[in-house]
Amino acid sequence: MASDEVPQLNKLPANNLAMSSYTAVIRRKFARKINVHDRFARTFDGSVFWPLSQLLTGHSRNLRGLLANALAVTCIGVACGRTPAPGGTGNATSTNVAAPARGGELLVSIRTEPQSFSRFAHADATTDLVNYLTQARLVRINRNTFEVEPWLAESWTRSADGSSYTVKLRPNVTFSDGHPFTSADVEFSLALAYDVKGGGPIIGEGLEVGGKPIKAVAPDPLTVVITFPAVYAPGMRIFDDLPIVPKHKLEAALKAGTFTEAWSLSASLTDIAGLGPFVISSYQPGQRLVFARNERYFRRDASGIQLPYLDRIILDIVPDQSAQMLRLEAGQSDMLADEVRQEDYSRLKRAADAGRVQLFDLGVSLAPDSFWFNLKAGAFAKDPRSGWIQRDELRRAISLAVDRKAYLDTVSLGAGVPVFGLVTPASRKWYSPEVPQTPHDPARARQLLASIGLTDRNGDGLLEDARGTPARFSISTQKGRTAFERGAVVIRDELKKIGVTVDVVLLEGNALVGRLASGQGYDAALFQLGVTDPEPATQLALWLSSGPFHVWNSGAKTPTPWEKQIDDLMARQISTLDEAERQRLFVEVQKIFAEHLPILNFAAPTIFAATSSRVANLTPSVVRPQFLWAADTIAIKR
């Protein structure tokens, strides 16, 4: 008996009232017993995911069922490839309700505390999330369509030469403390981004064009003239990364050199004001952050209701991802701030089928797992492997040798698509089928390795070079990231088949990043390059040989000819305003990349996200934070 049937016991005819109270007590007691029994029944008879619990409860039948299900899912996955429509958003339909109502609170599990309340001071994921909730920008990249939308900027016009923009700001907008928002705040925020005492290293670099800052002047309170140092094709898109902060609150701290402390975690919450949909109302270190509705938020929905719909958002800090999942399933939270792990898919699917959660297939990730060799000049100068370890042929051979389907099935449990370059089908605008795709061909891989002198010289099945040095290298990857660990093992096993020995080195996060950033202490790496915007112009740090994110050869002093070619193409790509030409140039870049393979990509996983069944009006995105990027329109079902 369902618990919601119990109140019906009160619907008794009036003439039975004398008996009704006694009967009702008895029946309620009985109902309670049934209810408790039913709870146990659902608890232990239902399909239980955790095998250990099944062993403990003796429900091995469920375990067998689980294994059978897992096998079936794997088989279906393997047979069908489970390939969501390229570039599509899978089943990422938003759960719109006819007329969302105001009210309600949303419980979100996050893994770490913010390091600050200011995005100018820290760039960690939770600080970024706080920024999404409390601040606003001139424009917003819609994380669902990846198109630019006017936000605080109501409209803009581009100058004839394409280097400056006249921006009209939305009128009658006020900060959460009631202070009016004007062009002076935009001017201040942009200057703050470049100030070494402000956002200098955190935000400023991403807002530079050709290494130079963008300038803003404010001719009147609702107009800003923004001048780029050169023509920049994506134009206003760059300002999605610039929170507009209140000058009246932060100017004094900046002048006093105490900006980083101004909105630190020790700051008084009343000192923090913003233009975002929520304000921070309480912070309990180690436990939670509570955000209340910003009653002065500037947006209204189509029917004129002031946003946000929610009264409160509560970010509960739950470091363990398994505990986060259990909270969601048990109805103790409404969503995880980020995507769910591939290995959690099957249990969430069951919970979704039972109506307890909503599961979203958001389509293929923008960021595939990336494998690259250390191509820094001189990195292997004194190494006996220097003759072949940085050669294009080795990377091409690896690309041929690794079965991308096996990689996908093992690493992403079949959910995803094989990829052959950094740009995945999720990037609808920039993905091109013209970019060459490497077939799985171990025989051709062996031939390529032989062409650089790597053959089996002693008949042990493993390859050696002319000096007898074994064809052996290590892959460094992050410890604890199961997808990377599995990926490195697949590469190791696939390369063993062609006689190349691979050692997998698992490193703690900071240690790995330290090595990759310095270009020292590693042979090859498997990592994910966090692409959050498909626009190539926002990825210059990766594509340009001088870019800090040019991971295979960071800070290259002597770029190779093909790297120079990419530099030239990208310089043209970001400075032409002809979109068709931009696309053509970027396809050229991808083709050069595919020819030299400085980074090898094998698969892009499908991104899944989940919420409780009471959350509505979601606009999920393939990039983080999957739901909360549009927190102002999330509602609770009534």
Partner 1 sequence: MFWYVIRRLVFAAFLVFAVSSASLIVARLAPGDYAVGAMGLNATPEAMRELRARLGLDRPIAEQYVDWLSRAVRFDFGRSLANGRPVIELIAESAANTAILAATALFLATLIGLPLGVFSGSKPRGVVPAAVRTASLFLLSMPPLLTSLFLVFFAARTGWFPIAGMSSIGGGFLDLLQHMVVPVGALTLPLIAMFERLQSQATSEVIDQPFVIATLARGVPRTRVLWRDALKAALRPIASVYGLVVGTLLSGSFAVEVITAWPGLGRLMLDALRARDVYLVAGCAAAASVFLAAGTLFSDLALVLVDPRASE
Q: Which residue in 9, 265, 292, 504 binds partner 1 (CB under 8 A)?
A: 265
329 near partner 1, judged by CB under 8 A: yes
592 near partner 1, judged by CB under 8 A: no
Min dist CB 541 to partner 1, Å, is 6
Q: Which residue in 264, 474, 560, 613 binds partner 1 (CB under 8 A)?
A: 264
With respect to partner 1, which residue has the nearer C-beta, 471 or 505? 505
Min dist CB 583 to partner 1, Å, is 25
With respect to partner 1, which residue has the nearer C-beta, 378 or 439? 378
**Residue 524 Ramachandran class (φ > 0 left, ψ -120 to 50 alpha, else beta):** beta
Strand duo 472-478 + 524-528: pairing: parallel
58 near partner 1, judged by CB under 8 A: no
Q: Which residue in 27, 37, 39, 638 binds partner 1 (CB under 8 A)?
A: 39
x/- mask, partner 1, residues 136-165, rule CB under 8 A, reads ------------------------------
505 near partner 1, judged by CB under 8 A: no
Contacting range for partner 1; rule: CB under 8 A; set: 49-57, 93-101, 214-222, 227-235: 49-57
Contact present, 154 and 236 (Cβ < 8 Å): no
Dihedral sign of CA atoms 543, 547, 551, 553 in order: positive
Which residues within the stretch 167-226 sit at the binding site for partner 1 (CB under 8 A)?
Answer: 196, 200-201, 205
Q: Which residue in 295, 510, 557, 561 binds partner 1 (CB under 8 A)?
A: 510
Q: Which residue in 16, 287, 437, 482 binds partner 1 (CB under 8 A)?
A: 287
66 near partner 1, judged by CB under 8 A: no
Largest CA distance in the chain: 103
Contact present, 358 and 613 (Cβ < 8 Å): yes
With respect to partner 1, which residue has the nearer C-beta, 139 or 351? 351
Which residues within the stretch 551-580 sit at the binding site for partner 1 (CB under 8 A)?
Answer: 551, 555
Tokens linked to 75: 């088989």
Show Cβ contacts of residue 56 under 8 Å, excluding neighbours closer than 6 positions: none
Min dist CB 282 to partner 1, Å, is 8
DSSP codes of every residue in 232-262: -TTGGGGGGG-B---HHHHHHHHHHT-HHHH
**How many angstroms separate the CA atoms of 192 and 183, rounded?**
14
Peptide bond into 308 cis (omega under 30): yes
**How many angstroms separate the CA atoms of 389 and 442, rounded?**
18
Structure-derived torsion over alpha carbons of residues 515, 340, 370, 407, reported in degrees to the nearest 10:
120
Opening angle at CA 176, ends 146 and 187, nearest 5: 65
Q: What are phi and psi of 469, to 5 degrees?
A: -70, 125
Show Cβ contacts of residue 569 under 8 Å, excluding neighbours closer than 6 positions: 585, 586, 588, 589, 592
Q: Which residue in 58, 331, 384, 436 binds partner 1 (CB under 8 A)?
A: 331
Q: Which residue in 31, 48, 216, 394 binds partner 1 (CB under 8 A)?
A: 48
Min dist CB 320 to partner 1, Å, is 5
x/- mask, partner 1, residues 527-546, rule CB under 8 A, reads x-x-----------x-----
Contacting range for partner 1; rule: CB under 8 A; set: 43-51, 72-80, 384-392, 448-456: 43-51
Tokens linked to 279: 């304000």
516 near partner 1, judged by CB under 8 A: yes
Q: Helical H runs in 280-389?
A: 321-329, 345-353
Contact present, 292 and 279 (Cβ < 8 Å): yes
Min dist CB 49 to partner 1, Å, is 9
Contacting range for partner 1; rule: CB under 8 A; set: 292-300, 374-382, 437-445, 513-521: 513-521
For 106, the enclosing helix (H) or strand (E) is strand 105-110
With respect to partner 1, which residue has the nearer C-beta, 50 or 562? 50
Residue type, 353: D
For tokens 């959910």, name the residue: 415
Q: Where are the beta strands (DSSP E) in 275-423?
A: 278-284, 288-293, 312-317, 335-336, 357-364, 369-373, 416-418
Which residues within the stretch 288-327 sit at the binding site for partner 1 (CB under 8 A)?
Answer: 288, 290, 314, 316-320, 322-324, 326-327
Min dist CB 557 to partner 1, Å, is 12
With respect to partner 1, which residue has the nearer C-beta, 382 or 557? 557
With respect to partner 1, which residue has the nearer C-beta, 86 or 206? 206
With respect to partner 1, which residue has the nearer C-beta, 57 or 583? 57
Burial of 14 (0-12, 13-18, 19+ CB in 10 A): exposed
With respect to partner 1, which residue has the nearer C-beta, 149 or 320? 320
Opening angle at CA 466, ends 463 and 468, nearest 5: 60
Which residues within the stretch 101-130 sit at the binding site for partner 1 (CB under 8 A)?
Answer: 109, 112-116, 122-124
For tokens 């080195």, name the residue: 505
Number of Cβ within a 10 Å radius of residue 464: 18
With respect to partner 1, which residue has the nearer C-beta, 172 or 510? 510
CA-based R_g, the chain, Å: 28
Q: Which residue in 285, 384, 436, 461 binds partner 1 (CB under 8 A)?
A: 285
Contact present, 235 and 137 (Cβ < 8 Å): no
Judged by the rule CB under 8 A, the positions of this chain that interact with partner 1 are 39-40, 43-44, 48, 50, 52-53, 56, 109, 112-116, 122-124, 196, 200-201, 205, 260-261, 264-266, 282, 284-288, 290, 314, 316-320, 322-324, 326-327, 329-332, 507-517, 521, 527, 529, 541, 548-549, 551, 555
